[in-house]
Amino acid sequence: MTDPLTGDLFSAASHQEEGGRRRHMPLAVRMRPRHLDEIVGQQHLLEQGSPLRVLAEGSRGPAGASSVILYGPPGTGKTTLAHVIARGESRTFVELSAIRAGVKDVRRVMDQALEDRDLRGRTTVLFLDEIHRFNKAQQDALLPGVENGWVILVAATTENPSFSVVSPLLSRSLLLTLRPLTDEDLSGLIDRALAEERGLDGAFTLDPEARGHILRMAGGDARRVLTTLEAAAAVAAGRAEQHAPAGTDDACSDEDSPEADPGDSDSSETDSPERDSPEAGGATPGHLGTITITSEDAEQAMDHAVQRYDRDGDQHYDIVSAFIKSLRGSDPDAALHYLARMVVAGEDPRFIARRLVIAAGEEVGMADPSALQTAVAAAQAVQLIGMPEARILLAEATVHIATAPKSNASYRALDAAIADVRAGKGGPVPLHLRDAHYAGAHRLGHGRSYVYAHDEPHHVAAQQYPPDDLVGVDYYRPTGNGQERAVAERLDRLRAITRR
Ligand SMILES: Nc1ncnc2c1ncn2[C@@H]1O[C@H](COP(=O)(O)OP(=O)(O)OP(=O)(O)O)[C@@H](O)[C@H]1O
């Protein structure tokens, strides 16, 4: 995930600059831990003397162990740890996003890092988010810098690095696995966000039901917790504002502020010192006292919070599902729309390509077998090329599949055959089809009376192929769509001979 602090292709933000910009940032960014002791959970990585602590506390540690790969689910602290490591003395933080950066950018960072080291005595901490999206050539470009210690590479990934990171880089880095945060960890984080000045600054309280709701939906993801909390606070503030009697404005002191509508149990406004919390995601409830966030507020907020496509959340599955259904439904425009949403969100092109390969087989099948060739070729080309050009191949495969005639007959046929096998159907293999290549097979009758199809007219033999109990069963029922029409006609003639 790109940090709004460092949202450009890459940036070297000094930590002093952060303060001024913080006010307008999302709660999750404002609450980003600045020191190891503010990080919740991940205790297995943070014990005294652990490599991560040694690295964060400024010592480079044993040679070759100074670069780390952080592997773990979203919102568990990977980017945060990179920032904390970069806070060490004489360190410069540089971020590259594997979605947008290329070999040239890596080289540029390395050159600058060398210069900073030699001329200014500074160590560059290079944070590379989503390293699994770098192809082999891009990952290889990191090697000299890592090997020679020009940078401390902190690479983050949500995918198993054994499959997505090249082995020379794996072997030169320390692999650290982050765990999903527990409800206890996240609850502590909520309390901090409610109370701290850089957070919601005491302007809100959270009712226990709302807290439970937010935690349940979080799936161990701190970003999701804080984003939802902030959105829920904005909903609660809006509600309180609506219920505040007319004439109330920011200039009113608390003594001037009339009580909220006493009939409205949702409005839990209390007498509290005036506050102005511009950081509360647009909620500026200074004149409204402390506002309680209810579970309705949290629910309403969640609807808003998932509006944006979240690569690892529910939206992800909704978009992928709509993409597949548009392909199946022969609507290329809708399919391209959902493809665009995935591309814009930075979805891994290999993930999209795998879905296209499956769709080519599952939705188009024998109605146009060349769709599978297009999809497989696109998947291979995506591996070779990477983004942004990979989108061209994804678009071609999408349009081919969406506009192709459709058939699911072959895989439905297999599923029916599997169901029969599971139900115990399919007796002994007919004797004439059995393996006749070993000594004694003939004595057992194996291969006897077998007809070699190529010796027959049209190279088709009239003989029994299925086991006795499946004779005459039609698993494959061609649709007659596209090229499958010709298959269907030929199949009629084939069955007429083989089943004679
Ligand atoms: N372990 C943690 N302790 C305290 N706060 C955390 C922790 N993990 C995440 N957060 C909060 O969530 C926000 C997002 O976390 P961070 O960017 O570190 O996640 P990430 O693991 O890099 O996620 P992604 O894989 O989506 O990029 C942080 O700004 C911080 O507010």
Residues 453-495 pLDDT 10s: 999 999 999 999 999 999 999 999 999 999 999 999 999 999 9
What is the structure's pLDDT at 263? Answer: 34
C-alpha 1 – ligand 1 centre gap (Å):
10
Does residue 324 have its Cβ closer than 6 Å to ligand 1?
no
| ipTM confidence | 0.97
Amino acid at 76: T
Residue type, 458: H
**Ligand 1 atom at shortest distance from the alpha carbon of 223:** 12
Percent of the chain with pLDDT over 70: 82
Strand pairing class (10-11; 174-177): unpaired
Higher pLDDT: 73 or 478? It is 478
Q: Is the CB of 76 under 6 A from ligand 1?
A: yes
State the DSSP H helix or E strand holding residue 231, giving kind and residue range, or none if neither: helix 222-243
> Can you tell me the distance from the alpha carbon of 301 to that of 265, in angstroms, rounded to the nearest whole number?
19
pLDDT of res. 59: 55
Ligand 1 pocket check for 32: Cβ under 6 Å = yes
Banded model confidence at residue 244, pLDDT cuts 50, 70, 90: low
CB 213 within 8 A of CB 299: yes
Q: Confirm or reject: Cβ of 75 under 6 Å from ligand 1.
A: yes
Q: Over 50: is that where the pLDDT of 4 sits?
A: no
User: Amino acid identity, residue 493?
Assistant: R
267 Cβ contact list (under 8 Å, min separation 6)? 239, 240, 243, 260, 261, 291
Kindly report the protein residue whose alpha carbon is nearest to atom 19 of ligand 1.
75
Residue 157: CB within 6 Å of ligand 1?
no
Q: Helix (H, G, I), strand (E, B), or coil: what is residue 176?
A: strand
State both tokens at 293: 């966030």
Pick from 25, 76, 131, 177 the residue to mutate for probing ligand 1's pocket: most ligand atoms within 8 Å of its CB: 76
Whether the CB of 223 sits within 6 Å of ligand 1: yes
Whole-number percent of the chain with pLDDT over 90: 50
Residue 304 has pLDDT above 80, yes or no: no
Q: What is the pLDDT of residue 241?
A: 79
